Chains A and B, each alone.
Chain A
Amino acid sequence: GQQVMQIPQYQHVQEGEDFTTYCNSSTTLSNIQWYKQRPGGHPVFLIQLVKSGEVKKQKRLTFQFGEAKKNSSLHITATQTTDVGTYFCAGPQTGSNDYKLSFGAGTTVTVRA
């Protein structure tokens, strides 16, 4: 199946600063989902993007789906300590049904107060 790559693997951010994490697929995705996993916790669904070029916002988080539907980004403004965790993107595997999601390795975010 296709691979979903995330960069960077680690993001160390000063509180109050902005940062962006990127998700790239080798093939076109029908949709992309983002999840957040707090340390010691389980992944929690954040958002799903379906349309080419789609942009969705959740307070300080902005999610974007690329025009070619092969990449996505998550931008966080004014980072807070509550943003600590690992952010995963996931998309359906090529040639498979939508049940088989391929997860990226995640971007682990730490925040310096």
Chain B
Amino acid sequence: DGGITQSPKYLFRKEGQNVTLSCEQNLNHDAMYWYRQDPGQGLRLIYYSQIVNDFQKGDIAEGYSVSREKKESFPLTVTSAQKNPTAFYLCASSKTGRSPLHFGNGTRLTVT
């Protein structure tokens, strides 16, 4: 059954700690994305990767980092430099730039 797996579903961290969110896909998609969702707002693009070993900043990349060493994996690290890290994080993939996005179930991160 193809899809995108994000783990964990809920994550709690203390302020000042870095945390890495996992995203794995077995859809054989070239492109992968990380979005952030806050209450009452649309999805905002953090980083995206068009192809393995390449990634670009989205609209709100400050305080985040990513890597794309394998086609299937696109982990997101929320660093201590991110001022408001508490949010719902969604990973997505697509076959190409114009293809629909397939989303994972999301990770809800709470930083206190």
Contacts and interface: CB of A to CB of B under 8 A. Distances in A.
Contacts of B23: none
Contacts of B106: 42
Contact of B98 (A4, A31, A42, A44): A31
Interface string B71-107: 0000000000000000000100010111011111110
A42 B108 CA distance: 11
For chain B, which range describes its interface: under 10, 10 to 19, 20 to 34, or 35 or more residues? 20 to 34
A43 B90 contact: yes
Interface residues of A, number: 26
Contacts of B31: 99
Contacts of A20: none
A43 B56 CA distance: 22
Contacts of A33: 100-101
Interface of A: 1, 4, 6, 9, 30-31, 33, 35, 41-45, 48, 88, 90, 92, 97-101, 103-106
